[in-house]
Amino acid sequence: MTSQKTDTELDITTLADRTANWRERLKEHQHRLDSDPSEVLSVEGRLTRMVGLTLEAVGFQAPIGSRCEVQGAGGKPIEAEVVGFSGEILYLMPTGDIRGLVPNARVRPIRSDSQVPVGDALLGRVVDGACKPLDGKGPLRVKDSMPLHGKLVNPLVRAPVRQHLDVGVQAINALLSVGRGQRMGLFAGSGVGKSVLLGMMTRYTEADVIVVGLIGERGREVKEFIEDILGEEGLSRAVVVASPADNSPLMRLHGAMLATSIAEYFRDQGKQVLLLMDSLTRYAQAQREIALAIGEPPATKGYPPSVFSLLPQLVERAGNGSEGGGAITAIYTVLTEGDDQQDPVADAARAILDGHIVLSRQLAESGLYPAIDVEASISRVMPQIVDENHLEQAQYFKQMYSTYRQNQDLINVGAYAAGSDPKIDDAIAMFPSLQNLIKQSMNQAVDWQQSVDNLTTTMQQPSSQIFGSLQTPTVLHQG
Ligand SMILES: Nc1ncnc2c1ncn2[C@@H]1O[C@H](COP(=O)(O)OP(=O)(O)OP(=O)(O)O)[C@@H](O)[C@H]1O
Ligand SMILES: [Mg+2]
User: Is the CB of residue 444 below 6 angstroms from any atom belonging to ligand 1?
Assistant: no
User: Is the CB of residue 191 below 6 angstroms from any atom belonging to ligand 1?
Assistant: yes
Going by the DSSP 8-state scheme, the letter that residue 18 receives in this structure is H
Q: How many other C-beta atoms can be found within 10 angstroms of the C-beta atom of residue 41?
A: 10
The backbone torsions φ and ψ at residue 343, rounded to the nearest 5 degrees and listed phi first, read -50, 135
Contact (Cβ atoms closer than 8 angstroms) between residue 230 and residue 276: no
Q: Which residues contact 148 (CB under 8 A, 6 or more apart)?
A: 114, 115, 116, 254, 257, 258, 261
Nearest-CA residue for ligand 1 atom 15 is 193
Q: Ligand 1 atom closest to Cα of 198?
A: 18
- pLDDT at position 283 is 94
As a whole number of angstroms, the distance between CA 303 and CA 297 comes to 8
**H or E element at residue 40:** helix 37-41
- pLDDT at position 252 is 94
Q: Which residues contact 452 (CB under 8 A, 6 or more apart)?
A: 173, 174, 390
User: Is the CB of residue 216 below 6 angstroms from any atom belonging to ligand 1?
Assistant: no
User: Is the CB of residue 74 below 6 angstroms from any atom belonging to ligand 1?
Assistant: no
Beta strand pairing call for 115-118 and 106-111: unpaired
Nearest-CA residue for ligand 1 atom 11 is 193
User: Is the CB of residue 367 below 6 angstroms from any atom belonging to ligand 1?
Assistant: no
User: Is the CB of residue 98 below 6 angstroms from any atom belonging to ligand 1?
Assistant: no
User: Is the CB of residue 72 below 6 angstroms from any atom belonging to ligand 1?
Assistant: no
Strand partners, 181: none
User: Is the CB of residue 58 below 6 angstroms from any atom belonging to ligand 1?
Assistant: no
User: Is the CB of residue 372 below 6 angstroms from any atom belonging to ligand 1?
Assistant: no
- pLDDT at position 403 is 92
Nearest-CA residue for ligand 1 atom 4 is 369
- pLDDT at position 467 is 42
Contact (Cβ atoms closer than 8 angstroms) between residue 311 and residue 345: yes
Nearest-CA residue for ligand 1 atom 14 is 191
- pLDDT at position 388 is 92
* CA of residue 448 to ligand 1 center, whole Å: 24
* Strand, coil or helix: 404: helix
DSSP codes of every residue in 421-460: -HHHHHHHHHHHHHHHHH---TT----HHHHHHHHHHHHT
* 170, 187, 195, 440, best to mutate for ligand 1 pocket (most atoms within 8 Å of CB): 195
Q: Ligand 1 atom closest to Cα of 200?
A: 1
- pLDDT at position 262 is 96
- Whose atoms come closest to the Cα of 197: which ligand? 1
- pLDDT at position 473 is 38
- pLDDT at position 39 is 58
Which residue, among 372, 448, 50, 332, has the nearest Cα to 192 in the 3D structure?
372
User: Is the CB of residue 244 below 6 angstroms from any atom belonging to ligand 1?
Assistant: no
- pLDDT at position 3 is 53
* CA of residue 286 to ligand 2 center, whole Å: 17
Strand partners, 106: 46
- Whose atoms come closest to the Cα of 229: which ligand? 1
* CA of residue 367 to ligand 2 center, whole Å: 17
Q: What is the pLDDT along the chain (479 residues), one digit of tens a residue?
A: 445 667 667 677 788 888 888 998 888 878 777 776 655 566 889 999 988 888 999 998 888 888 899 998 877 888 899 999 999 999 999 888 888 888 999 999 887 768 889 999 999 999 999 899 998 898 998 989 899 988 888 888 888 999 999 999 999 999 999 999 999 999 999 889 988 898 888 889 989 999 999 999 888 889 888 988 888 888 888 999 999 998 889 999 999 999 999 999 999 999 999 999 988 999 999 999 999 988 889 988 889 999 999 999 999 999 988 887 899 999 999 998 776 767 889 999 999 999 999 999 999 999 999 999 999 999 999 999 999 999 999 999 999 999 998 888 888 888 888 778 888 888 888 899 999 999 999 889 999 999 999 999 888 865 544 444 444 433 333 33
User: Is the CB of residue 370 below 6 angstroms from any atom belonging to ligand 1?
Assistant: yes
- pLDDT at position 477 is 36
Q: Which residues contact 438 (CB under 8 A, 6 or more apart)?
A: 170, 171, 368, 370, 372, 374
* 170, 186, 196, best to mutate for ligand 1 pocket (most atoms within 8 Å of CB): 196
* CA of residue 455 to ligand 1 center, whole Å: 25
- pLDDT at position 463 is 52
* CA of residue 200 to ligand 1 center, whole Å: 11
Q: How many other C-beta atoms can be found within 10 angstroms of the C-beta atom of residue 232?
A: 9
Nearest-CA residue for ligand 1 atom 12 is 193
- pLDDT at position 464 is 46
